[in-house]
Structure 1
């Protein structure tokens, strides 16, 4: 088993059952989530990517299927803001404590509001980043929203 990360420790503390999946991370992949899905042999719709954004003046975490793109207009509306934009990588890393390509919605340094795309919840289990590049956690979809206190909304 891989060395624990803040994400896996947060899942363990919450009593969430999960399975670890390791793969060879490709830093040159055009789309990290799709590369993870391919490497693991998992439907890209079940592999969720974790993105960090700013909605108005608020930093938020966004979780969407790896084969979809976030509508910043929908994100802004969901957050009650006039506009939204993705955070620059260095800022996302500073806020979360993770490196880009290894950002997990669990165990971030600073707790922020989480928005999950409704389409991400259509499978019994989902796969998300486990807190480092090349490490994914698979868990029951039913556990995801409650653990993160997330708002579920159409974001794609």
Structure 2
């Protein structure tokens, strides 16, 4: 009788302010995971889902608050579809500062048999961290917006 090896499936939910290093962390994780999977002869299957991708038109980021809710729904749907297709590693790369922002991702992952990992970058309520994030975020989110976002952060 042949032993069946069950590959664990993992859903990673990123949390942090713009500029905190979420996307950098994701790129490093994906690169390492792809190398590891290729070395073991396993096809590399890691998918990243970010609401920001829907705001990119012809390579230019154009945020529109009126489309935010719609694009968050698109992102959640794509995340769930990937898990339904048994993609081994799925990542939600959004800010997820309030608990309600990622609860649907977490609930879907659990329901579909995924281990959930919450990966928080920095301390969103810390002023020094907010200053760093305001300087280095790629969407030019100003410090006053970063501070406001930090003030709504909820620990899980």
- Name the TM tier (shorter chain): under 0.3
Higher relative contact order (CA 8 A, sep 6+): 2
- Which is higher, the Rg of structure 1 or of structure 2? 2
> Scaled by the length of structure 1, what TM-score is found?
0.25
Name whichever structure is richer in helix by fraction. Answer: 2
